[in-house]
Amino acid sequence: MAIHCPACASENNRFSSRYQSKRASFLSVNDLRECKECHLVFAHPMPLDGELEQYYSTQYPDIFLSTFSNDVVRFPVQLAQSRIGLLGRYMPMGDGEKILDVGAGNAVFGKVLKGMVPDATYDAVEPD
């Protein structure tokens, strides 16, 4: 059965390394594979939904997901503001722009972006 890259769907990928959990997370994952087309390294098989739910419900405090005015998230918010400012030098950042955030993590960049440019369209990809 072919293994598809979760980002570009290519079947052209190779074994990269065995996956070794450091915190007994994602025990269903056996290997890390590298896509030969887009070079994304991805888990194979992908973590189970229950493993992802467990990870995200214990790794990030709720406040991280609900607000960006707290000290806990000051640094990623400032980093996102800096990145948006940098991007603004090279591309228009006005209303109606379409932004794709590859590797969005918990989407702090998107939250800050929507605060600065409310009518921008924000899409996120988080292959993990």
Q: Could you list the residues that contact Zn ion (CB under 5 A)?
A: 5, 7-8, 10, 35, 37-38, 40
Between 5 and 77, CB nearer to Zn ion: 5
Tokens of 24: 């007994």
Q: Which of 33, 34, 35, 43 is nearest to 10 (CA)?
A: 35
To Zn ion, the closest distance from the beta carbon of 80 in angstroms equals: 25
Tokens 């990870």, located at residue: 55
Q: Where are the beta strands (DSSP E) in the chain?
A: 13-18, 31-35, 41-44, 98-102, 121-125
Give me the least distance between CB of 114 and Zn ion, in Å please.
Answer: 28
CA distances from 7 to 33, 42, 60, 75 (A): 12, 9, 24, 28
Q: Which is nearer to Zn ion, 12 or 66 (CB)?
A: 12
Distance of CA 85 to the CA centre of its chain: 20
The nearer residue to Zn ion, 79 or 125, going by C-beta atoms, is 125
**In the complex, what is the shortest distance from the CB of residue 100 to Zn ion, in angstroms, rounded to a whole number?**
15
Q: Which is nearer to Zn ion, 45 or 92 (CB)?
A: 45
